[in-house]
């Protein structure tokens, strides 16, 4: 199993992954900076409500029941946290594999995953702290846990991709 994963990590991360020369090496770091900027800008908006936007775009019908609207808004906001941190994890992981990771083994994959997890965890903490500085926003430890749930799903996506590529080889 480890031997097959070593081969897969080597194939997917170096032979068919981003080219580590010229302009292409900067694609992932630029994408990472863009994504972090987007996340930071969302954290900077006091009282951002998702539900009214979705209703205006006709994605959801108008909800007349205030309690239902409040509960749905909560679920939508937490789901957005999960999605944005799953994407963040994937982008951080790919950036590390593009710029830093030289070790194309299962151990190298594990190191990249661990460093990506640490980066996302620290970013989640800093994001919650940042929200304490924004009027009408609060920083909550529970939101860091929700963010880490998104990181978990990002890890699942990466691992499923590695397994899928290995089976295709």
pLDDT of residue 112: 92
Model pLDDT, residue 137: 84
CB 10 within 8 A of CB 104: yes
User: What is the C-alpha to C-alpha distance for residues 76 and 64, in angstroms, rounded to an integer?
Assistant: 17
CB atoms within 10 A of CB 46: 10
Full-model pTM: 0.79
For the chain, helix, strand, coil in percent to 5 are 80, 0, 20
pLDDT of residue 13 exceeding 50: no
- Please give the pLDDT value at position 169: 64
- Higher-confidence residue of 12 and 119: namely 119
């Amino acid at each position: 199993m480890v031997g097959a994963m070593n081969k897969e990590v080597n194939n997917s991360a170096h032979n068919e992954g981003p080219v580590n020369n010229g302009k292409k090496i900067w694609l992932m770091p630029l994408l990472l900076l863009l994504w972090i900027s987007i996340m930071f800008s969302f954290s900077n908006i006091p009282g951002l409500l998702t539900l009214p936007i979705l209703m205006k775009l006709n994605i959801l019908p108008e909800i007349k029941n205030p309690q239902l609207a409040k509960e749905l808004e909560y679920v939508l906001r937490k789901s957005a946290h999960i999605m944005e941190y799953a994407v963040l994890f994937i982008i951080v992981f790919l950036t590390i594999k593009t710029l830093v990771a030289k070790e194309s083994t299962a151990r190298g994959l594990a190191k990249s995953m661990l460093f990506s997890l640490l980066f996302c965890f620290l970013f989640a903490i800093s994001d919650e702290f940042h929200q304490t500085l924004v009027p009408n926003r609060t920083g909550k430890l529970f939101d860091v846990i929700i963010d880490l749930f998104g990181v978990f799903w990002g890890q699942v996506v990466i691992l499923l991709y590695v397994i899928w590529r290995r089976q295709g080889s």
